[in-house]
Structures are given as C-alpha cells and as structure tokens.
C-alpha cells in the first residue's frame, strides 16, 4: 500500500466507526448471502462477533504505517481462522463482502480511490493471514 492509500483507508474507516455495528451487520449479511456455508463457522449470537470484527479492522487500519509491528498478529489470526475451518478460497468472498459493506456504509464517500485503497489493504491483510494459516500446515 502506498502512504496515500493508507491515509484514504484510515480516513474512510474513521467515518465507519460511528456506524460500526451497522457496517458489521452489512458485512455479515453479504458474506452469508455469498456463501451460506460460512454461517456454520459462527455462533448464533453475532453481536460479539460484529464487535470483534470492527475492533480487529480498527487495529489493522491504525497500524498500516507500521505493518511490521502488526504482521505477526495478523498471521496468528490467519492461523486461528484456519483452525476454525476458514479456507484460502474464503478470503475472496470475505474481501467482496467487506468492499460491499464499505460501499453501502460510506455511500458517496466510497470513491474509486477509496475502493482501490481498501482493496490494497485487504490484499495485504489476507496475504498475511493466508501465510499464517499455511505456516501451520
């Protein structure tokens, strides 16, 4: 990611924070619509999961300028997700659901530049998580 993309992701995520639960709900609704089999990976009550999702994204977004400090934790998250049953092919579905949720949540503020920045951000996070998952296999 470029520094400009990092700034776009951080600025746009700041606009998501006030609607965090709505954004997380949009994400999970789209995720389960895209792949209903993923619903089985989660507990019935999704409130805590929505909070965890937004906290995790928030931590990653805040650390974009110092990726080396967070990369081991992101890789470990990928390792844990693999233990839950998340497979490499799920990351594409998750990325699409994330972009859709951001687009709906941010509306007109989700410009093509913001979208590209988020795609770059998600690609970096997903690659680190997949690497963490593969390190254990």
Write down the pTM of the prediction: 0.92
**What residue segments make up the domains of the chain, in order of their start?**
3-134
Residue owning tokens 């996070």? 125
Structure tokens at 70: 């967070």
Q: For residues 52 and 130, give the distance between their C-alpha atoms in angstroms, rounded to a whole number.
A: 19
What local confidence, expressed as pLDDT, does residue 136 receive?
Answer: 59
* CATH superfamily of domain region 3-134: Globins (1.10.490.10)
The answer to whether residues 22 and 93 touch, using CB atoms and an 8 Å cutoff, is: no
pLDDT in tens, 41-73: 988 789 999 999 999 999 999 999 999 999 999
What local confidence, expressed as pLDDT, does residue 120 receive?
Answer: 96
**Strands (DSSP E) found in the chain:** none
Whether the predicted pLDDT of 135 surpasses 80: no
Give rounded-to-5 percent helix, strand, coil for the chain: 85, 0, 15
The answer to whether residues 77 and 56 touch, using CB atoms and an 8 Å cutoff, is: yes
Q: For residues 50 and 52, give the distance between their C-alpha atoms in angstroms, rounded to a whole number.
A: 5
pLDDT in tens, 71-128: 999 999 999 998 888 999 999 999 999 999 999 999 999 999 999 999 999 999 999 9
Q: For residues 121 and 9, give the distance between their C-alpha atoms in angstroms, rounded to a whole number.
A: 8
């Amino acid at each position: 990611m470029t520094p400009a993309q990092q700034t776009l992701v951080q600025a746009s995520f700041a606009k998501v924070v006030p609607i965090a639960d709505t954004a997380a709900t949009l994400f999970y609704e789209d995720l389960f619509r895209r792949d209903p089999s993923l619903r089985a990976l989660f507990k019935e009550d999704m409130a805590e999961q929505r909070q965890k999702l937004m906290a995790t994204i928030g931590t990653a977004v805040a650390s974009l300028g110092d990726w080396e400090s967070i990369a081991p934790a992101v890789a470990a998250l990928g390792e844990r997700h693999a233990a839950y049953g998340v497979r490499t092919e799920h990351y594409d579905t998750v990325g699409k659901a994330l972009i859709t949720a951001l687009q709906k949540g941010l509306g007109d503020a989700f410009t093509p530049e913001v979208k590209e920045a988020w795609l770059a951000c998600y690609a970096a996070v997903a690659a680190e998580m997949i690497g963490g998952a593969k390190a254990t296999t």
